[in-house]
Amino acid sequence: MFKTRAISGIVLVAVTLLVIITGGPVLLCVMAAVSLIGMYELYRIFGVERSAAAILCYAAALCYYGDLCVSFLDPLMLAILFLILLLAVYVFSYPKYKTEQIFACFFGFFYVAVMLSFIYLTRATLEKGAYIVWLIFLCSWGSDTCAYCVGMLFGKHKMSPLLSPKKSVEGAVGGVCGAALLTGLYAYLFREPMGLSGRGMLFLAAISAVGALISMVGDLAASAIKRNYGIKDYGKLIPGHGGILDRFDSVIITAPIIFFLASVIL
């Protein structure tokens, strides 16, 4: 199990490196595909993954990503139009869908497709975005790895015993500090192409620390949904890791945070 998890993890990191370094339409298309898979995994929990409501959501996600490329409609207006169409499906097919299923459909579109799109937006629209985009992964995957290691060695106080018994306060502190240190090292190595001063490197480390703290909310939120519906993993796409949402649960919530913090602070 550990060998499978390690190999698939290495492959995932390699693919991520290739896609984000390439950027542009490749990154946009990959994020759209990842979003569709993640939405499918989430909708499967609510039993609507192949319904008309879900198909509308998949189409809305594709339109949203298309809009990021050609900017033919304001994203907020696109989301409003999608909500109106989704409510129309709910009304004119009544009582086919339960209210919570319709809510889940809209939530899936926003939670997965819109929030993951900030990986592309960070890479494509921010100054030095080709470098800043890596903070999203340093403060999510990097934090997760550091938290696991510190928790295994020093973890004594449970952070959320009912929701995630294996996570500890010590591990959480280690994750935040680890993400800040990794980002500080990253900023130092690329200080010249990024044009960073000492203060700039500290700002990046602080942004990553905040992102790491918030990433734990994303991780625990995804765990809460799974526990509510009695499932272990969202899917089996990534051997040893589960589905897209199992691997990107913290990335989903850190991507917009890093984008906005970097936009305001840097």
Q: Which amino acid is at 214?
A: I
> Residue 199: what pLDDT?
87
Q: Which of 146, 144, 172 is nearest to 158 (CA)?
A: 172
The answer to whether residue 251 sits within a structural domain is yes
Same domain membership, residue 219 and residue 142: yes
What is the domain count for the chain? 2
Judged against a pLDDT cut of 80, whether residue 1 lies above it is answered with no
pLDDT digits (tens, 9 = 90+) for 239-254: 777 889 998 989 999 9
pLDDT digits (tens, 9 = 90+) for 68-89: 988 777 888 888 999 999 999 9
Contact 42, 245 (CB under 8 A): yes
Q: Which of 109, 222, 229 is nearest to 160 (CA)?
A: 222
Q: What is the mean pLDDT of residues 103-114?
A: 95
> Residue 2: what pLDDT?
56
Judged against a pLDDT cut of 70, whether residue 121 lies above it is answered with yes
> Residue 186: what pLDDT?
93
- Estimate to the nearest angstrom the gap between the alpha carbon of 99 and the chain centroid: 26
The answer to whether residue 13 sits within a structural domain is no
- The CA R_g of the chain, rounded to the nearest whole Å, is 19
**With pLDDT > 70 as the criterion, what percentage of the chain qualifies?**
98
Structure tokens at 123: 């890479």
> Residue 200: what pLDDT?
87
Lowest mean pLDDT among 33-47, 55-69, 141-155: 141-155
Q: Model's pTM, two decimal places?
A: 0.92
> Residue 62: what pLDDT?
95
Same domain membership, residue 244 and residue 136: yes
Confidence band for 25, pLDDT divided at 50, 70 and 90:
very high
The three-state secondary structure class of 231 is: coil
Same domain membership, residue 26 and residue 142: no
Confidence band for 223, pLDDT divided at 50, 70 and 90:
confident
pLDDT digits (tens, 9 = 90+) for 191-210: 999 888 888 899 999 999 99
- Estimate to the nearest angstrom the gap between the alpha carbon of 14 and the chain centroid: 18
Biggest CA pair distance of the chain? 61
Q: What is the mean pLDDT of residues 154-162?
A: 78
Using CA atoms, how far apart are residues 146 and 136, in angstroms rounded to an integer? 15
Same domain membership, residue 261 and residue 141: yes
Q: What is the mean pLDDT of residues 177-196?
A: 92
Using CA atoms, how far apart are residues 204 and 206, in angstroms rounded to an integer? 5
Alpha helices in the chain (DSSP H): 2-22, 24-45, 52-70, 75-92, 99-108, 115-125, 129-132, 134-137, 143-154, 169-189, 191-194, 198-228, 244-265
Same domain membership, residue 263 and residue 161: yes
Q: What is the mean pLDDT of residues 209-233?
A: 90
C-alpha distances in Å from residue 114, one per residue of 57, 62, 146: 12, 11, 28
> Residue 117: what pLDDT?
96
Q: Of 101, 125, 149, at which residue does a domain stop?
A: 125
**With pLDDT > 90 as the criterion, what percentage of the chain qualifies?**
58
Range of the domain at 81: 22-125
